[in-house]
Each structure stands twice: as structure tokens, then as C-alpha cells.
């Protein structure tokens, strides 16, 4: 098959949702419909009910080899679909943000009872930043939920995106009768745990078809009224608007009952984008470009504790990746070849000979990769748009077993390379501070240091309000910070200078006294413009 055909055949996406909306269930149903798995229950839930590290890791283990569930590739109607898994817990949201940089579109799952929830809003902000095309699946229609029009309103107002329902439900909960496909003028009848999909779909000749009255009696009028109302309120669906990230098509269904899932999958195959262009430091890379390029968006250490292996997940962006061929690791300016790259098919991992744009490959990594690293066939560019956000909670790391200092150093290096937490080292001292988005990350860090490296640490709370990366032209710009506020200056892992403010007041003071310095709450992994923190 030619490269262009390989590219057009691929769809790389993620499913995002607030925990419990039904992401795992929908994932499983997509795999069932595609034939990639045969029985329900094969995909383990990744939600964490109790916020303890051991639970989290236990759940990770139960999910099977996490590596296999990080990417689920399957075939459907002659397409290769790469579904990138994202953690369910909000404390691991950064991992999700990074994964979203590697997809071409997303499916957002909403619980019809709860509507738009907090985590949904945050995830959508990241999609909006990147203009990622979004499809919405409103789930759990077998339950008594919010009114569909109210839900559509809420989506538009809270997520700042235009929506266009492509199906519309008749009834909900016990009264749920199915969904009307507005564009195909067909009705899909709901039944619990649906299996024979095609048998239950009836096509009508438009809303005025008398057949509707025969089927639904007095409910036919309600359906006509609702669909006409929807047609009046929402502009026609435009694929272009969807692909630009401005308009989200909406589907209604019940994942647990296999209802509405096939419709979603079929439309997804029809309209979701194939691998798209990617921004680089000096322009754009197109999937059809002849030379191979790709970037690392995720790293996972010690998947198999016996082998201490570490895998870097690389998204292919252009050309063709081949096993055992030399590629340039741009940041290190080193030529590397990979003898055992891995591909992921449904739940198993296998040796890969070649990969095309949109594919995700697993590279065994001896510690040479950072998130955001770029591989090319010799060109010196880096991929842009892989964000790092300022953490929200900070703790000082205290080594509680001096005989294991080396192990601790190594473990912290590895685990922060993964992005499990961010490490800051005091500019004029050796104080190590770990910053995270949510408390659970501290527990996981401590647990993994002990279990995977034999190192024992404690965390000491520290007064910290927020951390900011500092951007400045020259050393004079930061004289006040160096002289008066040096205790608040830290270096991140890349040597960038970071200011950790104790309070809102100290932040304001620092900003006032250092007017030529920019205080940034997010930067890009490959941002070359930040000055290095070598200021001592
Ligand atoms: P998540 O990955 O987004 O966190 O959600 P998950 O799929 O695990 O679903 C959360 C809960 O919602 C599960 O119930 C699941 O069975 C249920 N669920 C998913 N889809 C539907 C649906 O269409 N209708 C209804 N009524 N429920 C749905 P649970 O009791 O928390 O877990 P389990 O014991 O069923 O696994």
C-alpha cells in the first residue's frame, strides 16, 4: 500500500470524559464492534475510587500490561484506528494533556444525568487550544437525565464550542424509545443490551412520514416538534467546521447497552480526520512528507519490574518509520536505531517493522528520551505544542534512608522524566521540591520509589502558592530576584529558572520589582526561547 493510502486509512484519537461518565465502557464497546475483542469485561476500568497510591497501582496492574492499554489499535471497515488511552483520575490530568498532543481528534463522553462536569471543561480547554476536532457522545440515556435541549445548551456555554446534534432521543430513562437520525431520517429503536443492530433501524421519508404515527402514536408529534426545533436552533452540520475544531457533532446513546455506539463509530470513520499537519520550530510537517519524523509524548518506566525497562511512546508524524534504520535524536544530536520497536494491537504488543503517520510506537529507552523529544531523518527541527503546566501543590523531598541516596536520585530522575511530577532544585542550594497537580501523585511517587528503586522518602510541606517559569533577556533583568528573592528561585530539569512564590503577595512584589521578566504559568517542552537558569 502506498504511504498516502496508509495515511488516509488511519484515525488516531482519544476518548475523554469526567471520571465515571463511561469512557471505559465506550472504549470496550468500540473494541467489541470492531471485533478486536470478543467478550465484554476485557477492558479494565481505570477509575480510582479510593485515593491511595497502592489502589492506583493495583488498578494499573489489573488493567493488564499498562503498555498495551496505553494504545489500542484496531481495524474497522478497512481503517486502522489508534485509540490513545488517557488516565481517568484528575490528578493525572497532565498525562492526558500530553496525550492529547498526539491525537488528531477526540470523542468526548458526557453523562446525561450530570451534564458538563469540571474535568470535562479542563480537557476541552486543551482541545480548544489546539483546535482539535471533537465529537460528543451523550451517554446513559437509559437513565432519567437532564433535558436534551438543556444539555446541548450547557455544552455550548460551558465548553465554548458550537454543537450540532446528528441524532435526537425520544424519551429517557424508562421512557427511552431510541434515537432519530436527523440526517438519515431513520429511527434506531432502543432495547436493553442491544446486539442485533440493523434489525431495529427503520427508515422514514422525512418527519412528515405517516409511518412515524404508526410506530409512535402520540409520541410522533413530540418527536416532530423536537427535531424541528433542533433544526431551527442549530445550523446545518458542516464537516469543515468540525475539522477546524469549531463545531462538535452530538450523538445520544447508552454505551453499556451498546446503543448508539455503532452510529458513533460509523460517523467517526466517515468524518474524523486522518493524520494532520504538525507545527515544528520552523514551519509545519505534513504526514505526506517523504522523510520520517515523530515526537515522544509519553514515557513509562519499569513496566515490567523484572526487566527495569522503560518505554518512550512516539507518535509518527511524517514519512515511514523502519526498524533498524538510523534516525536523528535532535536534542542530543545523536543517530540512533531501534532493534525492537513495539506496536500495539488491541491488547497485545508485538515487534514492529514499519509504522506510518498517525501510528504510535513504543521504543525501548535506556534513559535518553524526554517528553517532547523529536526523531527525524537528519533535519534539526523540534515539534511544538507539547505543554507543561505549572504544578499546583509542592512538597520538599526528604531522604529517609541515607544508604539509598543514589537509588533515590535515580528514581526521582526517572519518574520525573515520565512526567509523574515536576522536579525543581533550589538555585543556590540543593533543596529538591516536587510539584504536582494532585495529591495522589505524591503517594504514587513515594510508592514507586520504594517498590521500584528501594528508596525511601518523605515529603515536607512547604508554603508555596504557585510556580512560574521566568523569561528574561539578560542577567540584569533578574538582579532583584537574585539579590532579594534567591530562596524562591529554582531550576527545573532542563535548567530553566523558576520562581516559586510563597503567597499571592510575594508574587505581586516580585512582578513589580522585576518588570522586564515574564512570569509564565505554562511553557512548551521544547521551548528554546526560555533563558537557561545558569545565573549564579
Ligand atoms: P469512566 O471510564 O469514564 O470512569 O466510566 P466507566 O465506563 O467505568 O463507567 C462508569 C459507570 O457507569 C460504570 O458503573 C458503568 O457500568 C456505568 N455506565 C457506563 N455506561 C452506562 C450507560 O449507558 N448506562 C448506565 N446506566 N450506566 C453506564 P459502575 O457501577 O461504577 O461500575 P461497574 O460495576 O458497572 O463496572
Interval between CA 131 and ligand 1 midpoint (Å):
29
Nine-digit cell at 253?
A: 446513546
Rounded to an integer, what distance in angstroms lies between the CA atom of residue 343 and that of residue 123? 27
Q: What is the mean pLDDT of residues 74-103?
A: 84
Q: Does the pLDDT value for residue 29 go beyond 60? A: yes
Q: Whose CA is nearest to atom 27 of ligand 1?
A: 140
pLDDT for the residue numbered 334:
96
Interval between CA 4 and ligand 1 midpoint (Å):
39
Q: Would you give the end-to-end CA distance of the chain in angstroms?
A: 57
- Which of the four pLDDT bands, split at 50, 70 and 90, describes residue 406? very high
Residues 65, 67, 70, 73, CA torsion sign = negative
DSSP characters over 275-302 = S--EEETTEEE-TT-SS-EEEEEEEEE-
Ligand 1 site: residues with CB under 6 angstroms? 17, 19-25, 45, 47, 88, 139-140, 142-143, 254-257
Interval between CA 23 and ligand 1 midpoint (Å):
8
Rounded to an integer, what distance in angstroms lies between the CA atom of residue 358 and that of residue 355? 9
Interval between CA 47 and ligand 1 midpoint (Å):
10
Q: Whose CA is nearest to atom 25 of ligand 1?
A: 140
Rounded to an integer, what distance in angstroms lies between the CA atom of residue 11 and that of residue 135? 13
Interval between CA 20 and ligand 1 midpoint (Å):
6
Q: Whose CA is nearest to atom 31 of ligand 1?
A: 20
Rounded to an integer, what distance in angstroms lies between the CA atom of residue 206 and that of residue 183? 9
Q: Does the pLDDT value for residue 104 go beyond 80? A: yes
Count of CA atoms in the C-beta half-sphere (13 A) of 289:
20
Atom of ligand 1 at shortest distance to CA of 259? 23
Give which of 462, 461, 465 is closest to 501, Cα–Cα: 465
Q: How far is CA 174 from the centre of its chain?
A: 34
Q: What is the mean pLDDT of residues 30-52?
A: 61
- Which of the four pLDDT bands, split at 50, 70 and 90, describes residue 57? low
- Which of the four pLDDT bands, split at 50, 70 and 90, describes residue 42? low
Q: Does the pLDDT value for residue 69 go beyond 60? A: no
Q: Does the pLDDT value for residue 39 go beyond 90? A: no
Contact 322, 354 (CB under 8 A): yes
User: Looking at 41-45, 185-189, 378-382, 426-430, which range is the least confident one?
Assistant: 41-45
Query: Helix, strand, coil: what percent of the chain each, to 5?
Result: 30, 30, 40
- Which of the four pLDDT bands, split at 50, 70 and 90, describes residue 214? confident
Residues 41, 47, 49, 52, CA torsion sign = positive
Q: Whose CA is nearest to atom 19 of ligand 1?
A: 22
Of residues 451 and 426, more confidently modeled:
426
pLDDT for the residue numbered 345:
65
pLDDT for the residue numbered 536:
35
* φ, ψ dihedrals at 496, nearest 5°: -75, 145
Give pLDDT tens digits for 256-273.
998 899 889 999 999 999
Give which of 175, 178, 153 is closest to 167, Cα–Cα: 178
Count of CA atoms in the C-beta half-sphere (13 A) of 460:
9
Q: In sequence order, which residues have a C-beta less than 8 Å from that of residue 391 and are 6 or more positions away?
A: 421, 422, 435, 436, 437, 467
Interval between CA 312 and ligand 1 midpoint (Å):
31
Give which of 12, 1, 6 is closest to 276, Cα–Cα: 12
Atom of ligand 1 at shortest distance to CA of 27? 7
Extended strands (E) in 302-365: 310-318, 321-322, 327-329, 334-336, 342-345, 348-351, 354-355, 360-364
Instruction: Label the pairing between strands 10-17 and 105-111.
Output: parallel
Atom of ligand 1 at shortest distance to CA of 46? 2
Interval between CA 137 and ligand 1 midpoint (Å):
14
Q: Please, which residues bridge with residue 342 across strands? A: 351, 362
Rounded to an integer, what distance in angstroms lies between the CA atom of residue 534 and that of residue 527? 16
Q: Does the pLDDT value for residue 329 go beyond 70? A: yes
Rounded to an integer, what distance in angstroms lies between the CA atom of residue 506 and that of residue 509? 5
Nine-digit cell at 508?
A: 505581586
Q: Does the pLDDT value for residue 275 go beyond 90? A: yes
Q: In sequence order, which residues have a C-beta less than 8 Å from that of residue 165 and are 6 or more positions away?
A: 148, 152, 182, 230, 234, 249, 250, 251, 252
- Which of the four pLDDT bands, split at 50, 70 and 90, describes residue 40? low
Amino acid at each position: 500500500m502506498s504511504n498516502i493510502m496508509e495515511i488516509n486509512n488511519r484515525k488516531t484519537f482519544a476518548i475523554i470524559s469526567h471520571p465515571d461518565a463511561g469512557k471505559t465502557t465506550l472504549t470496550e464497546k468500540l473494541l467489541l464492534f470492531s471485533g478486536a475483542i470478543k467478550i465484554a469485561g476485557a477492558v479494565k476500568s481505570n477509575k480510582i475510587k479510593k485515593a491511595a497510591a497502592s489502589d492506583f497501582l493495583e488498578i494499573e496492574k489489573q488493567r493488564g500490561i499498562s503498555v498495551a492499554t496505553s494504545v489500542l489499535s484496531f481495524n474497522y471497515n478497512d481503517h486502522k484506528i489508534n485509540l490513545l488511552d488517557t488516565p481517568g483520575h484528575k490528578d493525572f490530568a497532565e498525562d492526558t494533556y500530553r496525550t492529547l498532543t498526539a491525537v488528531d481528534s477526540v470523542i468526548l463522553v458526557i453523562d446525561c444525568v450530570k451534564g458538563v462536569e469540571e474535568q470535562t471543561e479542563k480537557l476541552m480547554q486543551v482541545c480548544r487550544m489546539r483546535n482539535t476536532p471533537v465529537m460528543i457522545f451523550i451517554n446513559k440515556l437509559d437513565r432519567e437525565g437532564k433535558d436534551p435541549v438543556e444539555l446541548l445548551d450547557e455544552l455550548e456555554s460551558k465548553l465554548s464550542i458550537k454543537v450540532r446534534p446528528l441524532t435526537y432521543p425520544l424519551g429517557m430513562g424508562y421512557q427511552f424509545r431510541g434515537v432519530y437520525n436527523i440526517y438519515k431520517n431513520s429511527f434506531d429503536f432502543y432495547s436493553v443490551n442491544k446486539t442485533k443492530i440493523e434489525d431495529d433501524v427503520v427508515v422514514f421519508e422525512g418527519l412528515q412520514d405517516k409511518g412515524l404515527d404508526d410506530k409512535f402514536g402520540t409520541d410522533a408529534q413530540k418527536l416532530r416538534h423536537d427535531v424541528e426545533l433542533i433544526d431551527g436552533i442549530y445550523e446545518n452540520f458542516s464537516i469543515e467546521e468540525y475539522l477546524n475544531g469549531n463545531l462538535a457533532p452530538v450523538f445520544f446513546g447508552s454505551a453499556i447497552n451498546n446503543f448508539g455506539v455503532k452510529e458513533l463509530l460509523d460517523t467517526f470513520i466517515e468524518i474524523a480526520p486522518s493524520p494532520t499537519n504538525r507545527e515544528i520550530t520552523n514551519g509545519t510537517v505534513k504526514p505526506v512528507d517523504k522523510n520520517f519524523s515523530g515526537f515522544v509524548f509519553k514515557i513509562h518506566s519499569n513496566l515490567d519490574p523484572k526487566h527495569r525497562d522503560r518505554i518512550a511512546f512516539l507518535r509518527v508524524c511524517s514519512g515511514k518509520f523502519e526498524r533498524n534504520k538510523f534516525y536523528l535524536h535532535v536534542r542530543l544530536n545523536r543517530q540512533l536505531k531501534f532493534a525492537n520497536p513495539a506496536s500495539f494491537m488491541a491488547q497485545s504488543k508485538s515487534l514492529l517493522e514499519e509504522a506510518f503517520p498517525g501510528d504510535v510506537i513504543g521504543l525501548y529507552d535506556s534513559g535518553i528520551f524526554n517528553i517532547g523529544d523529536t526523531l527525524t531523518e537528519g533535519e534539526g527541527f523540534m515539534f511544538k505544542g507539547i505543554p507543561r503546566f505549572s504544578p499546583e501543590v509542592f512538597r520538599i523531598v526528604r531522604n529517609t534512608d541515607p544508604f539509598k541516596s543514589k537509588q533515590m536520585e535515580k528514581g526521582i530522575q526517572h519518574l520525573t522524566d515520565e512526567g509523574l511530577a515536576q522536579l525543581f532544585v533550589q538555585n543556590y542550594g540543593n533543596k529538591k521540591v516536587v510539584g504536582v497537580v494532585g495529591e495522589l501523585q505524591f503517594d504514587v511517587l513515594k510508592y514507586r520509589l520504594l517498590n521500584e528503586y528501594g528508596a525511601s522518602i518523605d515529603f515536607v510541606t512547604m508554603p508555596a502558592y504557585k510556580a512560574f517559569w521566568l523569561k528574561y533577556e539578560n542577567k540584569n533583568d533578574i538582579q532583584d530576584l537574585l539579590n532579594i528573592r534567591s530562596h524562591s528561585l529554582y531550576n527545573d530539569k532542563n535548567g530553566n529558572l523558576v520562581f516559586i512564590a510563597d503567597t499571592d503577595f510575594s508574587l505581586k512584589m516580585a512582578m513589580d520589582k522585576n518588570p522586564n521578566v515574564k512570569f509564565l504559568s505554562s511553557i512548551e517542552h521544547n521551548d528554546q526561547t526560555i533563558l537557561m537558569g545558569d545565573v549564579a
